Amino acid sequence: MATAYQNLSDYDFDSVPNASGMSIGIVVSEWNRAITEKLLEGACNTLERHGVRTKNIVIKRVPGSFELVFGARKLADSKKLDAIIVLGCVVRGDTPHFDYVCSGVTQGITKLNLMYDIPFIFGLLTTDNMEQSEERAGGKYGNKGDEAAVTAIKMVHVNVS
């Protein structure tokens, strides 16, 4: 469903399983930091609201969105985690670079989901302009970080049920 029809931060709190025993990794891009740090804040706050202890949230920063896949794989290989969230922001420009980065990250995260026995959550904003990114990083459409955190908790629950 298009974000214009649903706020990324709206969800039924009671529909999210208890996450108190979970360890979650988050890989976040430094590119478009003003946006990605808000996504990270949203994800961490939502995880903590559902019981994930701060010490059980492992954060790894990578230079750009294309590097999210490598960072997520390295995090999965180095830590015992229940899920990994990838957070980034790619804004369309005047060249095809946007298409290559978005496609690469999408394919990479898909591959990680098939290679590992934990869920990798796609929290990459792919927008036409910075205004759309701001609207999805705590603005009028909520925060994609919140949505990614809820998805991670629910997918961990699916993985262990």
Is 50 assigned a catalytic role?
no
In a domain, 57, yes or no: yes
- Sequence-distant (6+) residues with CB within 8 A of 1 are none
Flag whether 117 is in a domain.
Answer: yes
Kind and range of the H or E run holding 48? helix 33-49
Confirm whether 13 is domain-assigned.
no
From the candidates 33, 53, 79, 97, give the one annotated as an active-site residue. Answer: 97
Q: What is the rounded CA–CA span in Å between residue 32 and residue 131? A: 12
From the CA atom positions of the chain, what is the Rg in Å? Answer: 15
Q: For residue 125, tell me if it sits in a domain.
A: yes
4 in a domain, yes or no?
no
Asked if residue 6 belongs to a domain, the reply is: no
Q: What does the pLDDT read at residue 112?
A: 98
Report CA-CA distances (Å) from 41 to 59, 93, 102, 142: 11, 26, 22, 12
pTM score of the predicted model: 0.95
**Tens of pLDDT, residues 130-144:** 999 999 999 999 999
Kindly state the tokens that stand for 93.
């420009």
CATH code of the domain containing 145: 3.40.50.960
| Number of structural domains in the chain | 1
Give mean pLDDT in consecutive 10-residue pieces for the chain, a chain of 161 residues: 75 94 98 98 98 98 98 96 98 89 96 97 97 96 97 94 69
Q: Is residue 12 part of a domain?
A: no
In this structure, is residue 17 part of a structural domain? no
* Torsion sign, CA atoms 137, 141, 146, 149: negative
Domain range enclosing 102: 22-155
